[in-house]
Structure 1
Amino acid sequence: MMTTFFYKAISNNGELTEGSITAESREDVISQLQSSGKVPIYADSQQPKSLKKRSKASGIGSANTELILEFTQELMYLVEAGIPLDRSLEILGQDNPSTALQELISELRQQLRGGQTFSQALEKFPRYFNPLYISLIRASEAGGEIARGLETLCQHLERNQQLKEKVSAALLYPAILLGVSLLSILMILLYVVPQFADIIAGFSQELPPETRFVLWLSQITIDYGVYFLGGLLALIALLYRTLASGATATWWDTLRLALPMIGPLHIKLEYTRFCRSLGNLINSGVPMLTSIDMASAAFSNGTLNSEVTQAAIHLREGGRLSDQLRNSNQVPSLVVQLTQVGEETGELPSMLLKIADIYDRQIETQTQKLLHILEPVLILSLGLIIAVLILSLLSAIIGINDIAL
């Protein structure tokens, strides 16, 4: 079956070219490009996003994950093609004139020309490259296989990005539904209710309690809505700062783990990132204890981070990682069991990556199940609120008409 593949390649004169080729497979595309004297750096059925456009949108202060992923992918293709690292960076820089990425690449090239290794150059930019990224590059440098290190990084970043996109996409519809519903309620209180209030005001009949409440709520929203919104935003900002540090952060981390349905999903999401990071680090030759220290940074939950850190401390005294994880309260049994199997068979990195893959699929399935429960509950709840608002006004109008008749 013929498929259209999009490609990026380096021409004979060193220029970056883009285009599309219809072929049966990616290998055929690469073969055609090489036959024409071009060095392929990208070939896939999905059209590549322009680094030039993305870097302009991101800005110099934005450490965009997709930007770094695409930078790593294209650098990998160039290095795999046998192009020296400095020249590869130069080519990527030429594809991004006057952008944040071009400035970053220029600084990296200066560091390389100053005698720094690539990993040492990356350390100058912690905003863009985290310790795991740098460690994988350093390990690949030690083995003389930078292309392999870049490939591992691409796989790692791609899987994390895919997981993030799946969760975000799953939450998009409920978020839109909630936003539209709240906007509808606000419009009713600000515009619809006042018009009914003008009609009702011309009659002396005592209004039902629910109608008086809706009228009062509408008036409060009109008079103090802006102040309430400002206070709500300030409260959210305060909660965000409070929950991010100190004893409150520990309480919040523990609470997230204990929430029904959400807690188990949160644990799997956290251990997906941790196991994938740890597996890739060990696979690249980074020492076990160093790998655990770096991989634990993937945890956003301090409670889980603390448990793994404690396991690493005990690991220094001897013993196996699985034994230490088994003594932790929040470590899933699957993580413990497959880690033990990996240690016994000498395949710990592959088992850790397998855990991440298993949890990837489980997270997607459980997220869909959670949304299937959440969506009808959300629709019914918000629909009920809107119905109560409307019916409370209509009941007053009907009562007035009955008296008039």
Structure 2
Amino acid sequence: MIPHQIGNLSNLQYLDLNWNFGNYAETLSWLSSLSSLNHIDLTGVNLDKVSDWLLAINSLPSLKVLKLAICQLHYFPSLSVSSDNLSSLTTVDLSRNQLGTSVMPWVFGLSDHLVFLDLSLNNFQGPIPRGLGNLTSLRYLDLSANYFNSTIPEWFFSRFRGLEFLSLWSNLLQGPFSSSVGNLTSIQTLDLSFNNLEGEIPTSFGRLYLASNKLSEGIPRCISNLSAMVTTNYSVYNDITYSTNFRISIEKTSLVMKGRNVEYSSNLNLVRSIDISENNFSGGIPAEVTKLLALQSLNWSHNHFTGRFPENIGAMRSLESIDFSYNKLYGEIPQSTSSLTFLNHLNLSYNNLSGKIPLSTQLQSFDASCFLGNDNLCGSPLSKN
């Protein structure tokens, strides 16, 4: 149990008790004695029995960083508690609790200085609440794995012009992309996957995660204008550091790329990925995609793409993962694929590819299952020569 004697440390400014196995608290009233505290991280601490957590947090006028993720917070204690006293907050992480929508009025009143808000996995339901639009300084917003429904409201894109990271992954959102999505002029990562969105994809983002929607039509040729994917100078995309000296880093993040799990021990900003799998895209794969030289992962599986493999794909030397499975691609696999020396995941199964698989140490190292369902394809690693 967290000892209440910590409250005697009246000059304490930084408190980090995250992920101490089995740690729990029955009250946080001792926090009210720590008026100088500006950082508190209780991630993973069991606060299931703490009914005064909000009152305790609101007694910390110097607080800048609040992290109460995975604390088994099942309810919001009091709707009458204001967040006016927390005018210095820049970071709030309440993810992976089960707070429900009752927490929202408190969130709406948070500091104008707030740049990081993570409310993922909290059982929120209904439309995205308009009160979130009060938090116009946000640069990182994660509302993923909830039950938000209806369309993404028009005001959403106009109020958050400074957003650099937005995740609405795994909700119940529906309808077409709004044309006002272009107002997110600072966006670097947009994750709208696993919803029921329809229509055409946007064309101006650094990383696209649009898997498992109902998007259709072809891929626009202006895809090569995604300049964040063109440069191979990764130093430009290190951790995002804000004027508050708060650094966004996502430690030990797993990125699933069809058939393998990759753990990144630092941050996800180095990943360059387009995942548009399980939609209804059709037409050919535009040659312009091969100009995205910084791409590391392409997952365009389970669509209706036709035509030939991009001849110049070998120019994309940073590619580590390609999944074009379950489409209608035909013709030969271009010889240039042998130049993809970093490739460690490949799935071209169930297309209409033909001819001989190009000889290269890389391609021959993959299992034959990566080429199944292409009846006219031959050569190692297939048994048919």
Select the structure with the greater relative contact order (CA < 8 A; seq sep ≥ 6).
Answer: 1
- The TM-score normalised by the length of structure 2 is 0.28
> Whose strand fraction is larger, Structure 1's or Structure 2's?
2
- The TM-score normalised by the length of structure 1 is 0.27
> Whose helix fraction is larger, Structure 1's or Structure 2's?
1
